[in-house]
């Protein structure tokens, strides 16, 4: 596989804005609603296993 180095000349203002947008997007991905949703899914799975073992 060949790779070619590339460069784009951007102004300092553009680089700062791009970094800001990346930080915002990463913060949204790590938001609390996702972690709560995963904990809820785990709780539902535990309940289903518990009810399955009882029944």
Inside any domain, residue 27? yes
Task: Give the pLDDT of residue 26.
Answer: 84
Q: Please work out, in degrees rounded to the nearest 5, the angle formed at the alpha carbon of residue 46 by the alpha carbons of 37 and 30.
A: 20
Inside any domain, residue 6? no
Inside any domain, residue 40? yes
Inside any domain, residue 1? no
Task: Give the pLDDT of residue 50.
Answer: 67
Q: What is the pLDDT along the chain (55 residues), one digit of tens a residue?
A: 677 777 778 788 888 888 888 888 888 887 666 566 677 777 777 777 766 666 5
Inside any domain, residue 18? yes
Structural domain span for residue 39: 12-54
Q: For the chain, how many structural domains are there in total?
A: 1
The secondary structure element, H or E, covering residue 30 is: none
């Amino acid at each position: 596989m060949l790779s070619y180095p590339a460069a784009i000349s951007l102004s300092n203002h553009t680089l700062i804005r791009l970094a800001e947008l990346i930080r915002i997007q990463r913060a949204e991905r790590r938001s609390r609603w996702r972690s709560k949703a995963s904990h809820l899914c785990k709780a539902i799975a535990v309940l289903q296993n518990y009810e399955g073992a009882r029944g």
